[in-house]
Structure 1
């Protein structure tokens, strides 16, 4: 049984880390786009496209924290930050490649018949992300460290009860910081936004994350149920106790 338990434990951490990493990377890449919530969903406000998948990141963060502790969260956080940085360095490198002549001839006009420069579009989209990646990485590291610490604090207070409180509470506190840091660094320091724009989009981002954290609570309990069945009752308790005292994964 110990060998089986160890294997299941490793597999669980691998799956949760994969979900965390993929969605964090996606959020960073698509975060260059600011979309109109009103024109898309009929609600007032603007959001970065990255926040659409970000709730999956903080949901997986809370689950990793519950079963693998503060160190488990920070381990995958630092790995993800490194891979995000690597990805954007590669993307930045591709913007300096000389385009092929036949590629420049593609899509000479858009759907409305207007002249379209595919190289300019590529440069505009991906080089815009350089300021965002700096802001995102700073906010990401601060937010994750804060989330992991607050989660463990609530865990000490509530014990094994009130999963929703430590998960939602830690997310709401950490994302209050994250929502404004990323926009301030990416669009105010490296961009041309005003503080009023940062505050407007930042608060809308935060309230979206607030609502998402509450709405995802049933999924959190479902994930706990499935994981508990996968590991077994005794093994689940042991793993959560290890996480609480912050032992290594």
Structure 2
């Protein structure tokens, strides 16, 4: 990037930096919303039951690490808040859509309700897990960066992501699936 900024230097970004941040925020939000919408489906990978949202969600941690490294902690935390707002908006829109009466011509209302009620539950659980884990990711990334005096990028990326994904997965699985799959969730957590 042409201009690197400190955590308090938001106004010195070039147009190119703003455009790159907009693209990253778009990918971040799309991955987050996709993970929540598809997350109610559970599959088995190597004998472990997991949400199919695991294919989209890790992108969010990668993006906050990139933003943290290049633009600082405040920008990364702003992405977390932006993601939270995106999730809240999607949740509200889903709840409104579920509450609206269906046309007589809409033959799959029961299926629509079933799928989107699950998505609403997933998003509601994800809100808590997301805010805690992404904030933890940003915090751990910067603590390691401070202690390592800016060195060991690979260590910052991996440790912050592993720790925050573990916290996210445990919180999310418990909140999202406790009532739906109590045996699976208890065994997992």
> Which of 144, 150, 153 is 1:160 aligned to?
150
Aligned-partner SS, 2:99: coil
Displacement of 1:101: 2.1
Q: What's 1:184 paired with?
A: 174
> Which of 70, 90, 111 is 2:73 aligned to?
70
In angstroms, what is the RMSD of aligned CA positions? 2.1
Aligned-partner SS, 1:32: coil
Q: What's 2:7 paired with?
A: none
> Which of 127, 142, 146 is 2:132 aligned to?
142
Unaligned ranges ≥5, structure 1: 38-42, 105-117, 203-249
Q: What's 1:193 paired with?
A: 181
User: Which TM-score applies when normalising by structure 1?
Assistant: 0.67
Aligned-partner SS, 1:13: helix
> Which of 19, 22, 41 is 1:33 aligned to?
41
Displacement of 1:8: 2.1
User: What is the number of residues matched between the two proteins?
Assistant: 181
Q: Tell which structure's C-alpha radius of gyration is larger.
A: 1
Pairing 1:18–2:26 present: yes
- 1:4/1:93 CA distance change after superposition, 3 Å: closer
- 1:92/1:12 CA distance change after superposition, 3 Å: same
Pairing 1:6–2:14 present: yes
Distance (whole Å) between structure 2 residues aligned to residue 200 and residue 120 of structure 1: 31
Give 1:83-122 correspondences, 5 Å limit: 83-104=86-107, 118-122=108-112
- 1:158/1:130 CA distance change after superposition, 3 Å: same
- Structure of higher RCO (CA pairs closer than 8 Å, 6+ residues apart): 1
User: Which TM-score applies when normalising by structure 2?
Assistant: 0.87
Distance (whole Å) between structure 2 residues aligned to residue 151 and residue 80 of structure 1: 18
